Structure 1
Amino acid sequence: MRRDLYLRLERVSAWCGVVLLVGFVAAFGAGHLLTPVDPQMSPADVVTFLHDHRTGILWCTVIMVLAVPFEYPYVVVTSLQLKRVEGGWGLLSMIQLTTGVVAPLGFFFPLAILSAAAFRPEIHSPDVLAALTDTFNLMLVGNACIFVLQVWSIGYAAFIDHREKQVFPKWYGWLSIVLGVLLVPGAFVFVVHSGPFAWNGVLANTIPSLTYFVWKIATPYVLLKAIRSEEQELAGLPEARPTTV
């Protein structure tokens, strides 16, 4: 592949992170899901919520189905930049790649379950709809901590990169480490119904969500700067030529 085309594809992949962020905000805003429901909400209130926001929830899932594929080039280009730090495919770049590939499922599966509840709420009992809504919230918030290693792998790479112009700056490394720590409280949503560790709590939801939002803005920014530095490094190397037989 020509060098200029390769770098252009990397930049497009980095911008996919912006597409994802816009898609997330648009989808969850349309579904009235930016603020989670109360875990202690009664089944009757759940039914009312699903009826009132049925169209928005279904369109939320549609938007996410369209936006989620952009996660893959975004994850791959991140691992390609980690590969520069490691000098080849290594533990950090592979951890980020494998966990990042799974990440989109953490959004789609919970939303598919909530959409199943909102699709035809009139044919299900309130208890069934409450159970499906519980499953959505537990999966969405509780499974987030699975991706702690993904963000920590990026953060650690920022600390071990000793080149003069780092691929990932140290401030971004600290941001990734902090996000990983803040994702851990999400694991406790399965055992509490109220308070800071509930799925709508400050520690399990609010603070991690805000930090994730900042991280999603910062990542495309540092990726584009990393690709620019990669272009400068490659400028001093001869262009690879295809071989002929």
Structure 2
Amino acid sequence: MTDTAAVLTEDGSGGPPKPERLGKREVWIFYWAFSVFYTALSVGICLLGRATPPPRPDVNAMQAAAWFDQHQLGIQVGFVFLLVIAGGAAISNGIIGYFMMRMSSGKMLAYAYIATMGVGAIPGFQLILACWLTATFRPDRSPDVLYLLYDLGMLSYNGSLGCFTAAYTVMAIAILYDKNGIFPKWFAYITIWQIVTEILASQMWLHHSGAFAWNGMITLYIALVVFGLWIVCFLALFRIAASRETVDTPALYELQDAR
């Protein structure tokens, strides 16, 4: 009886015990947190805050002040909501770093990704929330002050380049050099296009209208298409990678690193 029990798995079937699937439940929790955060981000930024698609850059101070007055409630509701859930960005960066640490390219690139995205969240996300909420907090301010907050928020949100360029660079390098097959190589090339769109976005600091302005076809809409494709592909690959996780997955990768 003892010998028979020793070869039975938990479901009573014969054969060697199978590795427990989904041993790290937090991986799936983070998967859904990632999905929910980006959905909530889209609602707050696009539908309520009206930052994407953005308002026009070729306006004067009175027009900028009138725009804040027109969208005051949406900005206040949407952006206060985003301030509450802003920590979701750290969760998103952390789960990407988690899978990068599983790559044979080494943990330093994962640390670099997490650090650069963490720094980039301040100019690329938090600053527009602070600027536009400040503008709507006292709408009777001078139109020139509101004009400054209008420009500073949008240029920071769409034109914060260096941190994100560095983050996507180290991620692409990690995927290309990885031998563990965490993510397919083609995802690295989509990530490289993220770098290209960040570089193109530098032109918005020089143009008030046209394809290179902050609401232009090249600096904004192409970038949105590439980013949307990147997110969709990442969620699909994230799900595949998470489904391969087992209780002993960390030990296997630590053994590979030791070799």
Q: Name the TM-score, length of structure 1 as normaliser.
A: 0.85
Cα pair 1:167 1:229 within 8 Å, conserved:
no
Query: Within 2, Cα distance between the matches of 1:54 and 1:21?
Result: 23
Deviations 1:58-88 (A, max 9, x none): 1121121123211212211211211111365
Query: Within 1, Cα distance between the matches of 2:179 and 2:32?
Result: 27
Q: Are 1:130 and 2:163 counterparts?
A: no
**Counterpart for residue 76 of structure 1:** 94
Deviations 1:106-140 (A, max 9, x none): 21122211111112212x11111111101111111
The offset of 1:4, in angstroms, is: 7.5
**Counterpart for residue 217 of structure 1:** 232
Cα pair 1:158 1:173 within 8 Å, conserved:
yes
Q: Provide the secondary structure at the position in 1 that maps to 2:214.
A: coil
**Counterpart for residue 118 of structure 2:** 101
Matching of residues 81-230 of structure 1 within 5 Å = 81-86=99-104, 88-90=106-108, 92-105=109-122, 106-122=124-140, 124-163=141-180, 166-230=181-245
Query: Within 1, Cα distance between the matches of 2:251 and 2:192?
Result: 34
Q: Name the TM-score, length of structure 2 as normaliser.
A: 0.81
Task: Calculate percent identity across the aligned residue pairs.
Answer: 24
- Higher-Rg structure is 2
Query: Within 1, Cα distance between the matches of 2:246 and 2:206?
Result: 49
The offset of 1:157, in angstroms, is: 2.1
**Counterpart for residue 8 of structure 1:** 25
Aligned length: 231
Q: Provide the secondary structure at the position in 2 that maps to 1:215.
A: helix
Structure 1: gaps (5+ residues): 238-245
Segments of 4+ moved more than 4 angstroms:
3-6
Query: Within 2, Cα distance between the matches of 1:218 and 1:233?
Result: 26
The offset of 1:155, in angstroms, is: 2.0
Structure 2: gaps (5+ residues): 1-19, 253-259
Change (3 A) 1:17 1:98: same
- Could you say what the CA RMSD is over the residues aligned between the two structures, in angstroms? 2.3
Task: Flag the structure with higher helix content.
Answer: 1
**Counterpart for residue 43 of structure 1:** 61
Q: Provide the secondary structure at the position in 2 that maps to 1:86.
A: coil
Query: Within 2, Cα distance between the matches of 1:17 and 1:94?
Result: 19
Q: Which deviates more, 80-89 or 53-62?
A: 80-89
